[in-house]
Structure 1
Amino acid sequence: MDEYFLEPTQQAGAQLFSRGLTGEVVMLNLLRFKDIADYAAHPEIAPEAAISGKAAFQKYIDHAQPFLKSSGGELMFMGTGGPFFIGPDHEQWDLVMLVKQRSLADFMAFASNPEYLAGLGHRTAALQDSRLLPIVQSKDGNIE
């Protein structure tokens, strides 16, 4: 049975904060879209006609960008994915993004902003599966 990941768990949140991250945090996003977006959980923001998961995710990006920028964040990279060169054959990602935030606290402020959350349903409608890996830059090029 396939297992899909769309939202963080309480355990994942606790682990993230226990890392004691300081300074900038970059979020590595791996995203797989549904063929047709499913707005069943968010009919209040559903478009009049059916759209693709990719189109729904673009609606999410358009909605989220102003809140990301105002919180000090930046969409550093967005690119088309595909099958792994090294990795499992069964995993394929449609989109890869790197999102930088000044700090974990700034990321959490962004992610909990009620105005931002009002458009989060576009993301939920769009995605079949996702991964989100918070990363911090190594100091002086050394493995820590």
Structure 2
Amino acid sequence: MAEFHIDPSAANFAAFKNLPRDTPINMLNLLQYRDTAAYPAGHEHAGKGWSGREAYREYGRTSAPIFARVGGTILWRGRFETMVTGPEAKQWHDGFIAQYPDANAFFAMIKDPEYQQAVVNRTAALRDSRLMRFAPGEAGEGFA
């Protein structure tokens, strides 16, 4: 049976919180959209018939000012084409790498009341996702 992930588990979030908070971080995001966004009843976008992609666009639009305010930037963005190594059944729609000046900036974003309203769009949009923290490394010509 397939496992789907939208929000971090308590254990994963605890591990994230235990890492250094004062160094730059890169967050790899892999996104798989719902065919139709799943908003909670009574939400202003419930019943509009938006696709998951449209709901994620709304998340991007409404969270962008907060992301910029904490110093976040997008380093790379791409559209999924095919799985080369990994389970053939796992398909993503989009991916991107968000950079934050440090983990404190990420925490400031997710605690922001405006962001907490915006993130409802993300939850409604996604069928599955992965969010992975990486320490920035050196760019270069080789793989190692």
Per the TM superposition, whether the score is higher than 0.5 is yes
Q: Which moved more, 1:125-134 or 1:111-120?
A: 111-120
Give the 3 Å change call, closer, same or farther, for CA 48–133 of structure 1 in structure 2: same
Write the letter of the residue equivalent to 1:37. A
Give the 3 Å change call, closer, same or farther, for CA 115–21 of structure 1 in structure 2: closer
CA distance in 1, matches of 2:138, 2:124: 38
Off by >4 Å, runs of 4+ in structure 1 = none
> Is the contact between residue 45 and residue 119 of structure 1 (CA under 8 Å) also seen in structure 2?
no
Unaligned runs of 5+ in 1: none
Unaligned runs of 5+ in 2: none
Map 1:1-144; keep pairs closer than 5 Å: 1-20=1-20, 22-39=22-39, 41=40, 43-46=42-45, 49-138=48-137
Percent same amino acid at aligned positions? Answer: 28
SS in 1 for 2:118: coil
The structural deviation recorded for 1:21 is: 5.2
The TM-score normalised by the length of structure 1 is 0.89
CA distance in 1, matches of 2:139, 2:92: 31
> Is the contact between residue 24 and residue 103 of structure 2 (CA under 8 Å) also seen in structure 1?
yes
**What is the number of residues matched between the two proteins?**
141
CA distance in 2, matches of 1:62, 1:2: 30
CA distance in 2, matches of 1:127, 1:140: 31
CA distance in 1, matches of 2:6, 2:75: 21
CA distance in 1, matches of 2:129, 2:76: 16
The TM-score normalised by the length of structure 2 is 0.89
RMSD value over aligned CA atoms?
2.0
CA distance in 2, matches of 1:139, 1:4: 32
Q: Which moved more, 1:80-89 or 1:49-58?
A: 80-89
